[in-house]
Homo-oligomer: A and B are copies of this chain.
Amino acid sequence: MVARVKTRERIVQQSLKLFNQQGERNVSTNHIAASMEMSPGNLYYHFANKQAIVAILFDRYEAQVYGFLQRPAGRLPNLADKRTYLHAVMSVMWDYRFLYRDLEHLLESDAVLAARYRVFSKQCLAQGRLIYAGFVEAGILSMNNSQIEALTLNVWVILTSWVRHLCTTLDQPAILSEQVIKRGVYQILMLQSGHVCPQWREAMAGVCEEFHVPTDDAPVGRN
C-alpha cells in the first residue's frame, strides 16, 4: 500500500515536471510512463488518463492559491503581507507554469475543469478585492470601489496571461526562467503604483526595487 501511494505521487510529480518543461500538450501518458521506466499499463492502474493527472495538479494549484489569497485574520494588512502575497504569487506561477501556458487548451478539452476554473476565477477576484480593500482600509492604498474592482481584474488578467505573453514575445520562448516570472510579479505590483498613499510611497518603492527585473526590450530615446 505504501509503495502504491508512493508510485501514484511519483507519477503526479513527474507529470508536473514534464508538463512544465515541455508543455502539457507535448507530453503524453506514454511519455510520462517511459520517463519513469514504468509500463503504460502500470500508469493506467493509477490514472485513467492524462486529464485525471491534470485534475490532481489543478487541485493542488487551487489549494495553494486559496491558502495564501486571504486577508490576515483580525488585523489590517501591512507591507510585510504585501511581500508575502507577492512571493506566494511568484511561487505558484512558477510551480504551475504549464497551467498558464496551456490554459485555454486544457479548459477546451475538459468541461469539468472549465466549470471549476470559472468558479475559481470568481473566487480569486472576490478575495483579491477584499485584500485590496484591506490595504485601502489600512491607509496604504487610496482607491474607490470602481478602482478596486478594475485593479483586481487587471491583476488577474496579467497574472494568468503573463506566461503566455512571454511565450509570444520572447526570442527564446521555450526558456522560461524564474526571473521572467518575477517580472510578471513586478508588473502586478506596478499596477497599484498610482494608488499608493504619499506616506507609503518610499517604502513601496523599496518593494518595487526588490521585485524589479529588466525586460530585454530596454526602452531607448525616452526623455
- The residues of A with any CB-CB pair to B shorter than 8 Å are 103-104, 107, 114, 117-118, 121-122, 125-126, 129-130, 133, 143, 145-151, 153-154, 156-158, 160-162, 164-165, 167-171, 186-187, 190-195, 208, 212, 215, 217, 219, 222-223
**C-alpha spacing A40/B157, complex, angstroms:** 40
Contact (Cβ within 8 A) B187 A149? no
CB-defined contacts of A222 to chain B, threshold 8 Å: 129-130, 133, 145, 148
Contact (Cβ within 8 A) A161 B157? yes
**Candidates B129, B151, B158, B217; contact of A122 at CB < 8 Å:** B217
**Candidates B153, B164, B169; contact of A121 at CB < 8 Å:** B169
Known: A147-B190, A192-B194. 14 other contacts (CB 8 A): A130-B222, A146-B212, A147-B193, A150-B193, A151-B190, A154-B154, A154-B158, A157-B157, A157-B162, A158-B158, A160-B161, A160-B165, A160-B168, A194-B194
In the complex, the count of this chain's copies comes to 2
Contact (Cβ within 8 A) B121 A187? no
**Candidates B104, B148, B187, B195; contact of A154 at CB < 8 Å:** B187
Min CB distance A203 to B, Å, is: 16
Contact (Cβ within 8 A) B167 A104? yes
**C-alpha spacing A1/B77, complex, angstroms:** 70
Contact (Cβ within 8 A) A118 B169? yes
Contact (Cβ within 8 A) B104 A164? yes
Known: A162-B157, A215-B153, A219-B126. A107 touches B168 (CB 8 A): yes
Min CB distance A130 to B, Å, is: 8
Across the two chains, which residue of chain B brings its CB closest to A141? B194
Interface centre among A104, A143, A151, A212 (most CB of B within 10 A): A104
